[in-house]
Amino acid sequence: MCIRDSVHAENKVNLRTEVAGKVKIINARIGEEVWENSVVIELDAVAQAEAVKEQLGVVQESSASLNEAKANYSKELQLFNSDSSDTSNPSKVKNLNDAKIRLDRTNALAKTLQTSLQNRKRETGKGKIISPISGIITNLKTTIGEVLPQNYDVATIIDPLSFKVYANIDELDITRIQPGQEAILQFDAMPLMRFRARIDRIVPQIDERFKTITAILTLIDNVPNISEGMTSNLNIIKKRKKKELE
């Protein structure tokens, strides 16, 4: 059974910018290795820093208003309690209620503004683009000094240890394959060499257009300079029955 297949990394990530900014640092080039949780690219997120500065000023103003509202409520409460025989005075009751409403509103606004400040501070840290995996940079779409927008695909990282062979097998041959079977690969880039692989799993979904099912194989032999997208011919070794071996 001769089948065409291709190599794909199962552990692959595209890095994106979370904020807009100017590229300040690039710590790795195409083809170089990066480590999990390492900073690959760093942006100079000036806009985010300015937003934090602006929000800090608003929070400080809100804090001053809150202190004023607290002082006013304390004063009205003291006046209200100064003459116990006059606590039903409509004017005193209204002034105390108004002071309490103002205090509650000012306090709620201060909390909202403080939360917004913390959120904006977190945005400034998003200028660092961090790799979630260890691997090799296979695509880098920026240079130092370039201004990037938010949500821009800036780099691709592949874990070479996660390479698998994806083989599309005719649905008529579905009963002839099973996990654990070995196969022989002949890569187009290395036509004189042969490599062993083993069926790891079979995807339980038929391609409606091509009427094929995908088998995913793990390489047994080391393939020099194996790369994403490499193609080959694959021959699955049919297990011989016990009687055939006697």
The per-residue pLDDT for 245 is: 38
Q: What is the mean pLDDT of the chain?
A: 87
Taking the complete model, does pTM exceed 0.75, yes or no? no
Residue 244 banded pLDDT, cuts 50, 70, 90: very low
Pairwise CA distance, residues 92 & 95, whole Å: 5
pLDDT tens readout for residues 154-186: 999 999 999 999 999 998 888 888 999 999 999
Q: Which residue has the higher pLDDT, 113 or 240?
A: 113
Q: Which of 82-86, 88-92, 148-152 has the lowest mean pLDDT?
A: 82-86
pLDDT tens readout for residues 37-63: 999 999 886 666 666 777 788 888 888
Pairwise CA distance, residues 35 & 235, whole Å: 36
Residue 246 banded pLDDT, cuts 50, 70, 90: very low
The per-residue pLDDT for 47 is: 61
Let me know if 195 is exposed, middle or buried by CB neighbors in 10 A (0-12, 13-18, 19+). buried
pLDDT tens readout for residues 13-29: 999 998 888 899 999 99
What share of the chain in percent tops pLDDT 90?
A: 52
Query: Is the pLDDT reported for residue 238 higher than 80?
Result: no
